[in-house]
Structure 1
Amino acid sequence: MKEQWLQCEGTWFVGVDALPSTPNGAVGGVPLQGPALERIGAREDLHPAQLSITYPGYPRPRAGENEAAFRYRRNRDAAHMDGLLADGMPKRRFLRERHDWILGLPLTETSVGASPLVVWEGSHHILQGAMIDALGNLPEALWPETDITDVYQTARNTVFKTCRRIPLFTRPGEAVLLNPFLLHGVAPWEAGTTASLDGRMVAYLRPESRESGAVWIRQK
């Protein structure tokens, strides 16, 4: 798995579906439970959890990443909205995954500066509005092939100018539940930060929405 998923010169493990969790979120017979589950409700269609692990020195350039992309990773926390996938040369963005929510479960103890998750307060309103403007009047079947790069980048720049950037320091036993339209990223690893050899490890669940596109894109 490290050969496949260890990126950024060994400072980031981006293990998509790497944790052997069950469709209801259990691991090793231990169920997914707690206030977050009470909020989202029980599910039986969850994918194996993604493992995001950062190590001291993050970020380093990712293989195939140009200088501009690396600067964005370093200076803007690689901020993104999930589900907008890059395709083609040059890369363009398309909405090809629709998530109900993003649930982050921290698995290791670290000090504050260990590449925390970063969110932009209120950004989901701006990005959702941009998605509605770009796709809301199109048949859902056309969404995956509709280029939304320019609309997305304009909305993202508005977020950077108007929304407060908030690093979220978390510990095992806590959970983070994100709106699917929220702009979020990973902060650089700060000098002097302490962590075990396991690094800063978070398990993420982000199930595909069972709602129609018309309902999903206008959700409250």
Structure 2
Amino acid sequence: MTGWHKIGTHPALLAWAKAAHPVAVAALRDTDQPLRCGGTWAVGLDLLPNGEDGEIAGVPLPWDVLGLAPVALHPAQLSTIHPGYPRPSAEETEPAFRFRLNRDAAHLDGLLPVGPDRLRMVKEPHAWIVGLPLTTSDAAPLVVWEGSHRIMQAALQAALAPHPPESWGDVDITAAYQAARAEVFRSCRRREVPGLPGEAVLLHRHLVHGVAPWAEGATAPPEGRVIAYFRPVMDSVQDWLLQD
């Protein structure tokens, strides 16, 4: 299993993307969330004012097309990339910038940096990740490492096994996570996954993924390359780690 799946253009997904696009552009224009990476990346957390069922501007999210059981959703993230991504910035160290540039800022969602030492802990145990492109663009595509979800799941299970399950969300897994990610780079295929409005990409919650740099000659509309992401949270870290 690769850990990801792309759904080709579907009329119901295209209708949703067309309805979401102007709302997303307005939300990105009006937000006070700062641009990162030298003004080339808008994180866009919880910016799309969709309903809990995914509906936007009267258009329902087609759960049947996605092949997912409906759950309560958060306002979608609007991950937006602008020309030149990534650029150095004051909020990012030189090693972190190089990792973003050379390794696509590869990461596992849900692991947050905690405390002054930025220890990685499972604080947002997402059930799955769905990306819905809102703009036509060949710039800065999503990047996945195929099969990486199996490596990450096994490594984190081993790291957390000595601890009581109820404490797993408070255990430092930095070393295990970094070692497993290094193994992913050695053994998993890196694949760029561009997308168009009307398509969708589904990621396993343990899949390592990132964003490719803006390539020379890549194009996007004035609002940038915009993808709406849904990542509903599971009830527990135990479910996140142990379920397939």
Structure 2 length as normaliser, TM-score? 0.84
1:56 pairs with 2:83 = yes
2:33 aligned residue: 4
Distance 1:161 1:104, change over 3 A: same
Structure 1 residue aligned with 2:186: 161
Count of aligned pairs between the two proteins = 215
Distance in 2 between residues matched to 1:218 and 1:92, nearest whole Å: 22
Return 51-60 or 89-98, whichever deviates more.
89-98
Q: Alignment identity in percent?
A: 53
Equivalence for 2:145:
120
Amino acid at match of 2:205: P
- Whether the 8 Å CA contact 2:112–2:123 is kept in 1: the answer is yes
Hey, what does 1:20 align to over in structure 2? 49
Structure 1 distance, partners of 2:191, 2:216, is 19
Change (3 A) 1:30 1:136: farther
Cα distance in 2 for residues equivalent to 1:97 and 1:31: 26
Which shows bigger deviation, 138-147 or 201-210? Answer: 138-147
Equivalent in 61, 68, 80 of residue 40 of structure 1: 68
CA distance in 2, matches of 1:201, 1:140: 37
Could you tell me how far 1:53 is from its partner in structure 2? 0.3
Evaluate the alpha carbon distance shift between residue 84 and residue 102 of structure 1 in structure 2; reply closer, same or farther with a 3 A threshold: same
For residue 85 of structure 1, what is the aligned residue in structure 2?
Answer: 112
- Partners in 2 of 1:3 and 1:63 — Cα distance? 18
Q: Does 1:74 align with 2:101?
A: yes
Contact between 2:63 and 2:69, CA under 8 Å: does it hold in 1? no
* Residue 196 of structure 2 is aligned to residue 171 of structure 1: yes
CA contact (8 A) 1:36 1:177 kept: no
1:137 Cα offset (Å): 4.5
Aligned to 1:215: 239
Residue identity opposite 2:183 in structure 1? T
Moved over 4 A (4+): none
Deviations 1:88-140 (A, max 9, x none): 223221111111100000000013xx000000000000000111111234323
- Tell me, yes or no, if structure 1 residue 107 matches structure 2 residue 134: yes
CA distance 1:126–1:138, change in 2 (3 Å)? same
The question of whether the paired residues in 2 share the 8 Å contact of 1:96 and 1:143 is answered with: no
Q: Which amino acid aligns with 2:181?
A: R
Superposed CA RMSD: 1.5
Give, in angstroms, the shift of residue 217 of structure 1: 1.2
Q: Could you say if the C-alpha distance between residues 141 and 80 of structure 1 is closer, same or farther in structure 2, counting changes exceeding 3 Å?
A: same
CA contact (8 A) 1:136 1:217 kept: no
Q: Secondary structure at the match of 1:15?
A: coil
TM-score computed with the length of structure 1 as normaliser? 0.93
Equivalent residue for 2:223?
A: 198
Query: How is 1:134-145 mapped onto 2 (pairs within 5 angstroms)?
Result: 134-145=159-170
Task: Please report how far the alpha carbon of residue 8 of structure 1 lies from its aligned counterpart in structure 2 after TM superposition.
Answer: 1.2
Between the aligned partners of 1:173 and 1:203, the Cα distance in structure 2 is 12
Q: Distance in 1 between matches of 2:65 and 2:143?
A: 19
Query: Are 1:96 and 2:123 matched, yes or no?
Result: yes
Unmatched 5+ stretches in structure 1: none
Contact map agreement 1:13 1:53 (CA 8 A) in 2? yes
CA deviations over 1:147-193 (Å, ceiling 9, x no partner): 10000000000000000000001100000000000000000000111
Measured in 2, the distance between the counterparts of 1:144 and 1:100 equals: 15
Distance 1:177 1:165 in 2: 16
